[in-house]
């Protein structure tokens, strides 16, 4: 089939996905309006009014508004002014979060995109401080999965400061490139992957992201899907490795993509498991099959996409291949190991707090 036909067919799928996503956004907004209640002041773990730290990505367009809203909210509640720590290229948020924890702040707000949220969360792992989300990026994947207001800074500030606490899992990944000798350990909150999804992230144009937001990934996906499959060796929970020719191996902590599309139906952010998705279509018909299953939430299995609930997955690839974590490229690897850290992070979600800021939630929405 000529490449032009493939692109045309996939463009139709992308258009259908966009329409479905528009409906999903409207649905999520209606759900959020029903879930939200007027906030009340939240106490710290010591019974005193809470201390707030704001880790702010200053390059985001809404960064000044976010700072203004947080400072005003703290003043209105009679709390001390927030500690404001700006991110830099060298220090994207983890060091700032660790400082806030060391100085005894009760809630640390991450104001930025998914990269800022992931960095701040890394600095809060296993601490008593809660993470508050002020989504200012393109994808805002964690915020969308937790029902937190997106594109509404005042509302997200209220939810972060007065919401309930919910412990969620985090993913840990060790990336290795045996050809260059480079390796490293990282965390993720929503999704990571090796193969095609990393190609799509790398191919997404910044200009389109600024103009169209998360829909820019659809355009990159249409350009990237005709790529060839590659051989990967995959081991689930320490079992024997199986070698397959696939497009990508994705490991998910959450279910939803932007627009309310549920990509991994059984993924739950606090169940102590990751959900691994292996995609292996051979042709345009296979990709249309995958698209139909996702868009229409078909429950039955199909051979070109498989799901596994795991504690750990190990992947080895035949040639150095790109990876992504929470929508950011994370380098080429020859092998990687992924595991779950259950309940590693406390996050503020919509709903009334029932006590200390680090306490359990009363009516936070189920995922």
Same-domain check for residues 105 and 175:
no
The phi, psi pair for 29, rounded to 5°, reads -65, -40
The tens-digit pLDDT sequence of the chain (367 residues) is 443 434 344 444 444 444 444 444 444 444 443 343 334 444 444 445 899 999 999 999 999 999 999 999 999 999 999 999 999 999 999 999 999 999 999 999 999 999 999 999 999 998 999 999 999 998 898 999 999 999 999 999 999 999 999 999 999 999 999 999 999 999 999 999 999 877 777 666 666 666 655 555 555 555 556 567 889 999 999 999 999 999 889 999 998 765 556 677 778 999 999 999 998 877 777 666 666 666 656 666 666 688 899 999 999 998 999 999 998 899 999 999 999 999 999 999 998 654 433 333 333 333 3
Same-domain check for residues 222 and 303:
yes
| Interval 224-250: pLDDT, tens | 565 678 899 999 999 999 999 998 899
The C-alpha R_g of the chain, in whole angstroms, comes to 20
Closest CA to 123 of 66, 85, 157: 85
Same-domain check for residues 228 and 163:
no
Mean pLDDT of the chain: 80
**Number of structural domains in the chain:** 2
Same-domain check for residues 180 and 257:
yes
Report field, pTM of the whole predicted structure over 0.85: no
Range of the domain at 214: 171-342
The phi, psi pair for 144, rounded to 5°, reads -65, -40
Question: Is 242 a domain residue?
Answer: yes
Same-domain check for residues 135 and 221:
no
CATH number for the domain spanning 268: value is 2.60.200.40
Same-domain check for residues 203 and 112:
no
Could you write out the three-class secondary structure of the chain? CCHHHHHHHHHHHHHHHHHHHHHHHHHHHHHHHHHCCCCCCCECCCCCECCEEEEECCCCCCHHHHHHHHHHHHHHHCCCCCEEEECCCCCCCHHHHHHHHHCCCCEEEEEECHHHHHHHHHHHCCCCCEEEEEECCCCCHHHHHCCCCCCCHHHHHHHHHHCEEEEEEEEEEEEEECCCCEEEEEEECCEEEEEHHHHHHHHCCHHHHHHHHHHHHHHHHHHHCCCCCEEEEEEECCCCCEEEEECEEEEECCCECHHHCECCCCCCCCCCCEEEEEECCCCHHHHHHHHHHHHCCCCCCECCEEEEEECEEEEEEEEEEEEEECCEEEEEEEEEEEEEEEEEEEEEECCCECCECCCCECCCCCC
Beta strands 328-349 and 312-325: pairing type? Answer: antiparallel
| Interval 110-152: pLDDT, tens | 999 999 999 999 999 989 999 999 999 988 989 999 999 999 9
What is the reported pLDDT for 302? 67
Question: Is 363 a domain residue?
Answer: no
Same-domain check for residues 148 and 297:
no
């Amino acid at each position: 089939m000529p490449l032009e036909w493939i692109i045309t067919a996939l463009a139709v799928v992308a258009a259908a996905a966009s329409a479905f996503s528009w409906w999903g956004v409207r649905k999520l907004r209606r759900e959020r309006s029903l879930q939200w209640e007027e906030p009340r002041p939240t106490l710290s773990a010591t019974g005193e009014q809470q201390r707030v730290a704001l880790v702010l990505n200053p390059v985001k367009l809404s960064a000044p508004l976010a700072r203004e809203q947080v400072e005003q909210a703290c003043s209105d509640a009679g709390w001390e002014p927030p500690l404001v720590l700006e991110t830099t290229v060298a220090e994207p948020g983890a060091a700032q979060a660790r400082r806030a924890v060391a100085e005894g702040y009760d809630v640390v707000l991450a104001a930025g995109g998914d990269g800022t949220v992931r960095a701040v969360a890394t600095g809060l792992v296993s601490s008593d401080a809660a993470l508050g989300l002020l989504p200012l990026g393109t994808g805002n994947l964690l915020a969308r999965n937790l029902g937190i207001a997106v594109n509404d800074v005042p509302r997200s500030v209220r939810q972060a400061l007065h919401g309930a606490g919910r412990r969620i899992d985090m993913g840990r990944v060790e990336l290795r490139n045996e050809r260059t000798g480079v390796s490293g350990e990282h965390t993720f909150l929503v999704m990571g992957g090796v193969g095609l999804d990393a190609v799509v992230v790398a191919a997404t144009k910044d200009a389109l992201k600024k103009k169209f937001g998360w829909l820019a990934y659809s355009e990159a996906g249409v350009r990237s899907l005709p790529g060839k499959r590659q051989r990967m060796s995959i081991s689930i929970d320490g079992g024997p490795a199986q070698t397959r020719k696939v497009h990508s191996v994705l490991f998910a902590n959450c279910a939803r993509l932007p627009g309310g599309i549920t990509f991994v139906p059984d993924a739950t952010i606090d169940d102590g498991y990751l959900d691994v998705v292996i995609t292996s279509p051979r042709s345009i018909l296979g990709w249309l099959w995958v698209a139909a299953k996702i868009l229409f939430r078909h429950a039955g299995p199909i051979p070109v996409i498989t799901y596994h609930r795991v504690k750990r997955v190990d992947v080895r690839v035949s040639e150095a291949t790109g990876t992504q974590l929470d929508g950011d490229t994370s380098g080429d690897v020859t092998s990687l190991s992924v595991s779950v850290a259950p309940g590693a992070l406390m996050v503020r979600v919509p709903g009334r707090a029932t006590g200390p800021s680090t306490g359990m939630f009363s009516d936070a929405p189920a995922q």
